[in-house]
Amino acid sequence: MVIRAKAPLRVSFAGGGTDVAPFYLEEGGAVLSSTINRYVYGSLRPRSDGVIRIESVDLGISLEFRTDEEISLDGSLDLVKTAVIRLSGAERKGFDLVVRSGAPPGSGLGSSSALVVALVALLQEHLQLPLTEYEAAQLAYEIEREDMGIHGGLQDHYASTFGGFNFIEFGPRVVVNPLRIRPAVVHELELSLMLCFTGITRESAGVIIDQTSRVTKGDADTLEGMRAQKRLAEEMKVALLRGELRDFGSLLGQAWSEKKRMSPMISNARIDEAYELAVAAGAIGGKVTGAGGGGYILFFCDFNDKHRVADALTHFGATVSEFSFEREGVTTWRA
């Protein structure tokens, strides 16, 4: 019997960066986000010969080792191997594990965290581990951020695990607040949004390290930008619940302005030019979906102007795509 999993990627509307220590531990953080119909997929087939075989379709890498040998973290699929070490412990069982992502690393859609969420779900099902959603999300966070030492926040693991529209609060504990948004509002929001791939992928860790350093040093502009992110996440949540989407689009633009205050590495000349072109063509607001420096820009447009914005960005050399929202979080099944 084969175990499958799919973990959704996410778009973050406001609050990104407030989920990174030490800020959320000192002042509390809040992020407004939703999962979308792009996924990390995983497949696990048990085997009885004491061998674990791992394959990444995206990287074109496969490797195998025996269950009774020490797993070496040598730079090849270390994130996957760390998840196996953390969950399996000494009592490892053999299996074939294949993973594939719907977005490249550095896209700003939370793909690396969704990968870990999918791995936790597969191994949880394989090993019959009794984990709640909160426990699974926290475990995915610990594997990526603590065990692997990859800098970043908490939001992506919780977004991918729980799914849907959420207002997530960060403090001594993480609290996921699912939002009940009217279907007509969701449909109209989908019609009004587009993703623009800048053509640049980046390591988010560098941006996060710079941002964290500024918070630790008490940089006034960085701190004010993060506090504004929290406030805007709350205001955008209210706009969504009330169906005030034009206000939502304007607030999205404000969230980008405040986000750029958090680190000079968040934007660059190409992102700024794409943003200016989109606004000139009719976009009401937009922001980079991840830590910054590249990846995707999320734009909000009136439906009557959306095709003009898309044309302007396409002529600029960016790749424009539409998407749908995903209500479900990580899902496993047997095939």
pLDDT per residue as tens digits for the range 136-146: 999 999 999 99
Is residue 203 scored above 70 in pLDDT?
no
pLDDT single digits (tens) 107-133: 889 999 999 999 999 999 999 999 999
Summarised one tens digit per residue, pLDDT across range 237-287 is: 999 999 999 999 999 999 999 999 999 889 999 999 999 999 999 999 999
Q: Using N-to-C axis directions, what is the helix angle for 155-162 and 133-141, rounded to 10°?
A: 140
Give residue 91's pLDDT: 66
Q: Domain spanning 183-321: which CATH class is it, in words?
A: alpha beta
Residues with a known catalytic role: 156
Please give the model's pTM, rounded to 2 decimal places. Answer: 0.95
pLDDT at 291: 80
Contact 303, 187 (CB under 8 A): no
**282-319: pLDDT as tens digits:** 999 999 998 888 889 999 999 999 999 999 999 999 99
Q: Distance (Å, rounded) from C-alpha 32 to C-alpha 322?
A: 20
Mention the CATH class of domain 3-180. alpha beta
pLDDT at 233: 97
Enumerate the CATH 3.30.230.10 domain ranges in the chain, comma separated: 3-180
Comma-separated ranges of CATH 3.30.70.890 domains in the chain: 183-321
What mean pLDDT value characterizes the chain? 94
The larger pLDDT score, comparing residue 90 to residue 180, is at 180
End-to-end CA distance of the chain, in Å? 6
